[in-house]
A and B are shown apart, each in its own frame.
Chain A
Amino acid sequence: DAKTTQPTSMDCAEGRAANLPCNHSTISGNEYVYWYRQIHSQGPQYIIHGLKNNETNEMASLIITEDRKSSTLILPHATLRDTAVYYCIVRRPHGSSNTGKLIFGQGTTLQVKP
């Protein structure tokens, strides 16, 4: 699975949009981009995933560049409860040669400040 690169940490003001970048320049055509987050002392939580098109759900939006070599997770109105470590993960869909396991990097620690 392709390796991802994320900034170590970011700050965001409460109520503002948080834009978290991720580089995945070696991504393959069938690999998806996933975002998970881990709030302190909790297990990771799925946020969103996408392949080529931009995606939006109740938690966030995912913008994937046309060449798919990078993406941005957008939390439109960050709250203090969004303070967490955010992980960008690239992986192939589950199949005979892939178990669907997640390979986590160090992630981005997002601090939302009042």
Chain B
Amino acid sequence: GAGVSQSPSNKVTEKGKDVELRCDPISGHTALYWYRQSLGQGLEFLIYFQGNSAPDKSGLPSDRFSAERTGGSVSTLTIQRTQQEDSAVYLCASSLFPGQGDPREQFFGPGTRLTVL
């Protein structure tokens, strides 16, 4: 079966431009997460979707970052007015709807490498 897919795989943009990153989760997975990994840094959580709603946006670094999810499937992470410090690999993960006390594993996509010049 298909795993989590992300597009584009690489994105080079100029400082100040807006970018959109896309995530296609595994079919039937209602939980979706965005993470990012900066050069030399660990993975950091950005936002969590449960269906189309985002009950946890605590990891978004600034109001230039936003995300949406439609139809309980595809998600788009948008970065407005990109800065050089936004350069990183942006990873998406999905899992089955976590029930109470149910420790579901997350499946990660290959990531989008964003370079801001």
Contact = CB atoms under 8 A, between A and B. Distances in A.
Given A43-B93, A44-B91, A94-B98, A99 B106 contact: no
Given A99-B56, A104-B42, A105-B42, A46 B48 contact: no
A93 interface: yes
A46 B103 CA distance: 12
Interface residues of B, number: 30
Contacts of B85: none
Contacts of B31: 94, 100
Given A45-B108, A105-B42, A99 B48 contact: yes
Nearest to B47: A101
Contacts of B50: 99
30 contacts: A32-B103, A34-B103, A42-B111, A43-B91, A43-B108, A43-B111, A44-B91, A44-B108, A46-B107, A49-B105, A93-B101, A94-B98, A94-B99, A94-B100, A94-B102, A94-B103, A96-B100, A99-B48, A99-B50, A99-B56, A100-B31, A100-B33, A100-B95, A100-B103, A101-B48, A101-B59, A102-B43, A104-B35, A104-B43, A107-B42
Interface of B: 4, 31, 33, 35, 42-45, 48, 50, 55-56, 59, 91, 93, 95, 98-111
